Structure 1
């Protein structure tokens, strides 16, 4: 079956649940399938540690110095650790060294378990890839190419094919049962990690430049791939989740990336049903005893506080009962006092209302009498004023007649005076004319002739 896959951007839902710092550098880490234990290789020892609810606490130590590769079996009952060129297998429960796999001449760089935990495949810097029987502790198949150094490998679920990356910038596909290299694909860059999905249909690789490659699978001679530049330093580890939905990568730059895996159409992994996760967490016996002691102490304190609280409540009930009785008596006394005041005020109000109605009736009568007097007075004043008006009108007519008569007389006198003046001056003019004629008869004759 031909499939293609792609990587999306890193997921944003990663969160830190537990954190602890150690004085030594950790060279390798392996997580138990149950999620309750972790193997960590330090410079002096390999430590099996318990993942507690709030701590990472060492549980067992193994004298393996600088362990750079360790891995739990799929069942979790065994784990393998690389001790330079030796692979040691231990029981997770009894810590017994059940087998020592000898055969590598170089340092072991990668250990992979088969799906049924009956075989182990390892690779080393001497160019050897070995398949071991876990129960027998013997080498069953091998493929050795001494011209290169292998750094990481991955297996198909059926254990028929092994994919190995080496320092000579190649990705090799091997069949260990035939001790043959089916194909060796040049990668153009040194690949440091390679991982195959649990379904056996997706192949990913990490390079020394920090990029993650999604390789076309099944692998062909051209080695087609899609590259995603992720880290800024060589990738040191890559793992794919149990459900093939996420790819995790870490590098020497100290960064961890989680990528969502999807097919060429952008569809992610589809679960047939939700897989339940265990909710159990580990706690130490001392922590449990301390918690039980604190719980017992808290229970005692709660009992004492409850008794004290009940006693205080009874005291408060008694005090409140007395206060309520006092308040009730005081309230009854105040009610009686207020009732008396109310009756007094009501009587005063009725009396004042009667006085007010009497005063209002008297005021209405006085007002009516005043209005009548004002009407009579105004009528009298109106009659008086009317009579004055008639008298003044008669006087005005009389004065107007007198004025008209005086105007006529004055007009006649004026005309008469004007006539007299006219006659007077005409007489003077005639007399002057006679005097002139008498004083100058010739001139008069001439004047007469001229006329």
Structure 2
């Protein structure tokens, strides 16, 4: 159990190099990667929710969201590459952790959900370049196919938005449409595209169930319908009605760098795509629905506060998303900046403006290079940072906004905020500059010539500041700006310096492995602790100045008292890079090379378990705890500033100091006089305008009175005329009523007569129909009788004929029998006669 928790609260920065690094959940929430976290940023409420990656993750590579925006997939690099699926509706609970067992895959460079969230695909990186397909009901690999090679890397994979059996894969010399069947991925044939291997397909997007748009590194856009090339265009707009010089410059710029189409996003009207550095083009379907036309260009504006304003325009857009209602387009760049634009306003401004629309910052302008220094103050909730991007920025950790931002012609090496929060020291190579923080700018107050200064720090009381120049620490008064002390007994340049809480001591450490403690009143070296085998990189002092906590190159945390090392805590698999002690001195926060924060109780023991909290993607370079012990501030080589919320009351440690911060700001006398003069001029102008308005009102009142009188007379006459006309109309109406009554009487009589005739006609017609019906019935009865008679006659005739035939047949039979009997009789007579003759002969 840790003594306190450090939870990521708010981050100023975005991690570049993550595929599909910007996801719009709804109109208010956007997800982007930071360090080992996915951050859900609420644009309206200005708050963030962190979704941590797995504990041993080596960094994020790709993000994907399901079609119903419920599930988030995060690809992470590691000894075994994984894709973690989070349920965003159940407090970001991990639903699945997908990996591959048979193949040693260390990373998935692109992932995508099917539209019904039933399947998820992941494209592995080098050297295998294999596409894996998982089913999310049972998180197992159901199909694989090799898609790329060492010379043909894959950049993006995706499902069709309406068909979970269609998959698109694009890369360097690779464009494949795959068909997913049960347990198998089969490639489909691509038609009308020659020399695929010579195209570098950087991105693609499905615009319908069967049509996909691809973008190349030469600015080409290709549309394929079911694998057949159906449309081709280029994002480069050829100069037309321009003068010759502008046309030549544009042609030269195009020749130098072709616009890379690094990302494409589809929406209902068509699609949006990047078109080289700092520009997005909107394409809409034509009326025939077969082609697309460019309708709008949107550019990243120059940054006037930066030393090189055109630096912003040269950013490469690496990710893009459109909100569900298609009201907002958001982008992220290779310099870690977030921009957005309202598409509805863009549509409305098409006619009004001739030039391209411009993005605005989604949040604030972040550092785009390593942050080198960090400082905070006491009386204001401000944070000052300096960076290798040649800028100094002041942030507010209460409101989570960027207060001030200024670019310089040279790199600011270090920065220090005065405890009052009204002044700032900025260290340059040749000088140290004292600047006052105004409402909207840094104003140089004094410059100190300090060549080779590496760091400066204000005392806790703000009455002194220390500056490190080579092997000497110079202490200056902030009231007289005089050099009051020089501390010069060090063997090497101090790497880090800290004031004790009462400002009576100044402690420094360097790469010589020695920690020096100085008396700031006498300027004498009070003590030194040498440990030559370790080069100290950072340290912290307890509130009573009795204990020093230090880290260095030997990967251990040391607790030092009276120049003796009391405790050493090893850092296991990471290296400690920075330390910060709470104001109470009860908790020590340690930053690591992995970008995480380890929390330990003070005084140090030998903890059985080190509690590590994930944060940055790069080594933490400096840490500071705010004066109210509520927030931990960390900066990293990844160019981000992270505000951690310190959770005390979870384990019985309570710290509820209520801080009252100053709301006052500084303003110069010249600015104040200018503002007062401006206010006076505006007040005078308001008075003059009031007098002019009163005069105009009186003049208009008089004019209105005159017009009112004229209109009154006019309308009175008109009313009288209308009354007379009304009387005539009433008399005419009465006469018309009499005529109408007489006419109605005649009409009623005529109608009565016609009604009687109609009734008689109806009765006659009814009788006629009845008679006709009776005649028809009689005819039908007669026909039935005749038919019955004919049928009976036929039956009788047939019966008698059959009987006659039977009688004739019997008669014939009788005749035949009679003839046969006659023959037999005659034969018998003959035989008798023969017998008689024979007997007679015998008798003779």
TM-score, structure 1 as length reference: 0.75
- CA distance in 2 between partners of 1:323 and 1:268 (Å): 81
Change (3 A) 1:363 1:291: closer
Change (3 A) 1:253 1:354: closer
Displacement of 1:221: 3.6
- CA distance in 1 between partners of 2:735 and 2:675 (Å): 83
- Contact map agreement 1:3 1:201 (CA 8 A) in 2: no
Q: 277, 281, 299: which one pairs with 2:661?
A: 277
* 1:325 is the counterpart of 2:324: no
Aligned residue number for residue 5 of structure 1: 4
- CA distance in 2 between partners of 1:204 and 1:115 (Å): 18
Displacement of 1:355: 4.7
* 1:117 is the counterpart of 2:116: no
Displacement of 1:134: 1.6
Q: Map of 1:129-278 to 2, 5 A cutoff?
A: 129-175=515-561, 178-188=562-572, 189-221=574-606, 224-263=609-648, 265=650, 271=656, 274-278=658-662
- CA deviations 1:297-317 (Å, max 9, x no partner) are 222222222222122112211
Displacement of 1:256: 1.4
Displacement of 1:331: 0.8
- CA distance in 1 between partners of 2:531 and 2:452 (Å): 26
Displacement of 1:269: 6.2
Change (3 A) 1:50 1:367: closer
Structure 2 residue ranges without an equivalent (≥5): 11-47, 49-398, 761-844
Q: 62, 74, 99: which one pairs with 2:460?
A: 74
* 1:27 is the counterpart of 2:413: yes
Change (3 A) 1:36 1:148: same
Displacement of 1:241: 1.2
Aligned residue number for residue 62 of structure 1: 448
- CA distance in 1 between partners of 2:640 and 2:496 (Å): 21
- CA distance in 2 between partners of 1:223 and 1:147 (Å): 26
Which deviates further from its counterpart, 231-240 or 321-330?
231-240
- Hey, which of these two has a bigger chunk of helix by percent? 1
- Contact map agreement 1:39 1:46 (CA 8 A) in 2: yes
- CA distance in 1 between partners of 2:526 and 2:420 (Å): 30
- Contact map agreement 1:245 1:269 (CA 8 A) in 2: no
- Contact map agreement 2:509 2:515 (CA 8 A) in 1: yes
- CA distance in 2 between partners of 1:90 and 1:169 (Å): 35
- CA distance in 1 between partners of 2:407 and 2:437 (Å): 14
- CA distance in 1 between partners of 2:602 and 2:2 (Å): 6
SS of the equivalent of 1:271 reads coil
Displacement of 1:222: 5.2
- Contact map agreement 1:31 1:38 (CA 8 A) in 2: yes
Aligned residue number for residue 735 of structure 2: 351
Which of structure 1's runs of 4+ aligned residues deviate more than 4 A?
Answer: 266-270, 354-364
SS of the equivalent of 2:697 reads helix
- CA distance in 1 between partners of 2:414 and 2:689 (Å): 52
Q: Which has the higher contact order (CA 8 A, sep 6+)?
A: 1
Change (3 A) 1:172 1:361: closer
Aligned residue number for residue 430 of structure 1: none
Q: 327, 335, 343: which one pairs with 2:719?
A: 335
- CA distance in 1 between partners of 2:599 and 2:750 (Å): 114
Q: What is the root-mean-square deviation of aligned Cα atoms in Å? A: 2.8
Aligned residue number for residue 304 of structure 1: 688
TM-score, structure 2 as length reference: 0.41
Displacement of 1:213: 1.8
Aligned residue number for residue 471 of structure 2: 85
Structure 1 residue ranges without an equivalent (≥5): 379-451
Larger radius of gyration: 1
- CA distance in 1 between partners of 2:491 and 2:646 (Å): 37
Residue-pair matches, total: 368
Displacement of 1:46: 1.2
Displacement of 1:265: 3.5
